[in-house]
Structure 1
Amino acid sequence: MAWYNLDKLLPIDYVEGIVQLANKISFTYQLLAVLSLVLLLFPFFFYHKETLAVALGTYYAFLLIATIFGNFPVMIMGYGVSPIIGYSIGLFRIIAQMEDNKQI
């Protein structure tokens, strides 16, 4: 729904444009920012291959891809604590599921 009803607010550098803001400082910072965002997907796709892990990994991948095409906050790096809490809950749930299955 957000794709069809885009708001008229201008993007804020430290929310929607945090990766570009890192590039204004240094290309190395931008590269590290992109690498750290991609590494956030690692636990969901490569460490555990259960349905919940893949679903959460896909969700977070789409959140990252959406920031390329629109003025959406960048997950974890952008402004706000709720993505950090959501990511942590998902990751801890995957770890708990792995412990239940004795995969650690």
Structure 2
Amino acid sequence: MNTNIKWLATWRVRWARVKRGGELGLSGMLLVVGILLSVALLPELPGLVSGTLAGDGDTARTLFFCAAGIAVCVLQWRWRAAIYPQLRRDTSQEETQ
């Protein structure tokens, strides 16, 4: 019976590491997407702003969605511990107990 509990504890720690790595990978990938979106938006920004000021609805919508996408990507990275539950705890404390 003791070996079953030990085995289960070992797999719990491994699963926690895998989940933590996956969540860090996903949050990092979304940050990279936000960075790439901002780099792609930079050359088009003057045209988008002038089109928006001229009253073009499609240009204003494009500018809004790009800015919202960048904000979502950056904010999820900034607050990743609140979004991804596995990142709230320090797994090194779980291993020592």
Give the TM-score normalised by structure 2. 0.33
Question: Considering only CA atoms, is the larger Rg found in Structure 1 or Structure 2?
Answer: 2
Structure (1 or 2) with the greater helix fraction? 2
More contact order relative to length (CA 8 Å, sep ≥ 6): 2
Give the TM-score normalised by structure 1. 0.31
